[in-house]
Amino acid sequence: MIQDDKLTIGGHAFDSRFILGSGKYSMKLIEAAVKDAGAQMITLAVRRANTKEQENILDYIPKGVTLLPNTSGARDAGEAVRIARLARELGCGDFVKVEIMRDTKYLLPDNQETIRATEILAGEGFVVMPYMYPDLNAARDMVNAGAAAIMPLASPIGSNKGLATREFIQILIDEIDLPIIVDAGIGRPSQACEAMEMGAAAIMANTALATAGDLPMMAAAFRQAIEAGRRAYLSGLGRVLTRGASASDPLTGFLRD
């Protein structure tokens, strides 16, 4: 945690810049993951309830952690709106990550439908965080639709391939006046660190942890990488020479005239 460096989303301030997913791993690991990640926000999905006795995931999430339900499974704006309303009815606050996919092979988000859902949900008082393909025009439309943050993908969901969309995320960071939270595809702490060095406001990760050898340890590694990248960004990165070299040592001669 960096002193007095808050991430503000929809009027809510967070010290952590690591949003944790809760999919594809045991509920029993959630508490350790949240603790080692230092996370203050965790994503959830909404699904048809099981009539068989099942554990309640909310029992495993430490108190004080903000819940960020997603609209995964939605194929258009209408379905996303329905899922968001159900999530709010489940009693988890007003945050929602809008996630709309028509494509089932690459799981790429549908920006147009996401803009429509963002507008409807923002109008209903939700804090809307749209997951999107990093396109500047679509991001501007999401801002105008009332988004509280923009969540561009780094590479396809669950791929752990890192910042395939690096240049386009940089454009969003430079041009959009909302937190840019890099979501999907970040596979390694070094990639999270790079995104933070670029000026991303936060990182969302799930599969990178769920498929790691030791989930809580990887959560800690991501936390450190995100904090390192944030400090580097706040510090201002050193310049890169276009050619030649620049000595780091004093250029006073010795041992010879």
Q: Which residues are catalytic?
A: 97
Residue type, 97: K
Residue 48 region by backbone torsions, left for phi larger than 0, else alpha for psi between -120 and 50, else beta: beta
Residue 60 or 168 with smaller CB distance to another protein: 60
Distance CA 167, CA 78 (A): 32
Residue 87 or 143 with smaller CB distance to another protein: 87
Least distance to another protein from the beta carbon of 186, Å? Answer: 11
Exactly one of 3, 11, 89, 241 binds another protein (CB under 8 A); which one?
A: 89
Helix or strand (DSSP H, E) at 68:
strand 66-69
State whether residue 164 is helix, strand or coil. Answer: coil
Query: Rule CB under 8 A: is residue 25 a binding residue for another protein?
Result: yes
Residue type, 79: E
Q: Is 162:188 a contact under the CB 8 Å cutoff?
A: yes
Query: Rule CB under 8 A: is residue 82 a binding residue for another protein?
Result: yes
Distance CA 38, CA 229 (A): 15
* Torsion angle defined by CA atoms of residues 170, 111, 147 and 135, in that order, rounded to the nearest 10 degrees: 20
Encoded tokens for 243: 């050619």
Residues 27-46 that bind another protein (CB under 8 A): 27, 30, 43-46
Size of interface with another protein, in residues (CB under 8 A):
38
Least distance to another protein from the beta carbon of 35, Å? Answer: 17
Q: Strand 18-20 to strand 202-205: parallel, antiparallel, or no bridges (unpaired)? A: parallel
The total number of residues shown for the chain amounts to 257
Query: Rule CB under 8 A: is residue 66 a binding residue for another protein?
Result: no
Exactly one of 32, 65, 92, 232 binds another protein (CB under 8 A); which one?
A: 92
Residue 84 or 225 with smaller CB distance to another protein: 84
Residue type, 226: I
Least distance to another protein from the beta carbon of 232, Å? Answer: 26
Query: Rule CB under 8 A: is residue 53 a binding residue for another protein?
Result: yes
Residues 106-125 that bind another protein (CB under 8 A): none
The one segment of 116-124, 141-149, 172-180, 203-211 that binds another protein by CB under 8 A? 203-211
Binding positions for another protein, rule: CB under 8 A? 21-25, 27, 30, 43-54, 56-58, 69-70, 72, 82, 85-87, 89-90, 92, 157-158, 184, 204, 206-207
